[in-house]
Amino acid sequence: MSAFAAEAGRHPGWPARLGPLEVNAGVVALRGPRLFDASQWSRIRIRDREYLENWEPTATEGWTERNAVLSWPAQWSSLRAMARRGQALPFMITVDGALAGQITVGNIVRGSLRSAWIGYWVAADRAGGGVATAAVAMLTDHAFSEGGLHRVEATVRPENVASLRVLTKSSFREEGLFKRYLDVAGQWRDHLCFALTAEEVSDGLVRRLVARGEARIP
C-alpha cells in the first residue's frame, strides 16, 4: 500500500491517496472527494436506497432530495472544510477506478485523547467482495500512522450483519451496547460499539489482510 504524505501546513493525514489494494471485487483505492463526483455519487445512492437507508441516520429531507446531484456540492465543501480543520479524514472508495462508496474518519479529537470514529458505505453491487474490509484496513492504518490517532471506534446496529463482519475481520473488538443510541430509519436504534487502538495493530491491518491471503498489493 502507498500513502502520499500530507502536504506541508495541512493537518495530519490530509490530503492523501491510499492504496491500491487488490481484493476479489477488484483493485480498491481511496482518494479525497471531488466536486465532479456528484453525478456518479447521486446515481449510486439513489439506486441503492433500499440497501443503504436502513443503516443511515434519519434526515429531515427525503432520500432523493438528500442524495440529489445538486446536494453534493454542499456536502463536498463541508467534507473538505472539516478535513482542512483537522476534524475529519474523508475519502471516496474506488474499485478499478470507478466510484464505489465512501469512508470517513470523523469527529477527530486531538490532545490526550487522539480518538475518532470511522464510518463507511459501499455500493450494493460491490458488496461481499472485500471492498469495505480493504477500505477500513487502509484508512485505519492511515489514521494510526500519518493521521496521528491512538483510537478509532465504530458503531453499528446489531442487525447489520455485513458491517459486523467487516469490523470483526478488521480486528475491531466489541466494547458494549449503546441503547437507543442513534435515530436511524425513523426510530431510536441500539448500536454495538467496536474499537481499536494503535497498539493492537502495530503490524498494520493491510499487512494482516495480505498475510491471510484476502488481499494483495498490486
pLDDT at 60: 83
Total domains present in the chain? 1
Q: What is the domain extent for residue 31?
A: 2-211
Q: In this structure, is residue 183 part of a structural domain?
A: yes
Q: In this structure, is residue 217 part of a structural domain?
A: no
Only one residue has cell 436504534, namely 189
pLDDT tens for residues 72-101? 999 999 999 999 999 999 999 999 999 999
| Residue 76 host element (H or E) | helix 72-84
pLDDT at 5: 37
Non-local (6+) Cβ contacts of 151 within 8 A are: 113, 114, 115, 116, 195, 196, 197, 198
Look at the chain and count its residues. 218
Q: In this structure, is residue 141 part of a structural domain?
A: yes
Q: How confident is the model at residue 3 (pLDDT cuts 50, 70, 90)?
A: very low
Q: In this structure, is residue 202 part of a structural domain?
A: yes
For residue 44, the domain's CATH number is: 3.40.630.30
Judge whether residue 110 has pLDDT over 50: yes
pLDDT tens for residues 120-160? 999 999 998 999 999 999 999 999 999 999 999 999 999 99
CA-CA-CA-CA dihedral for 20, 14, 93, 139, to nearest 10: 70
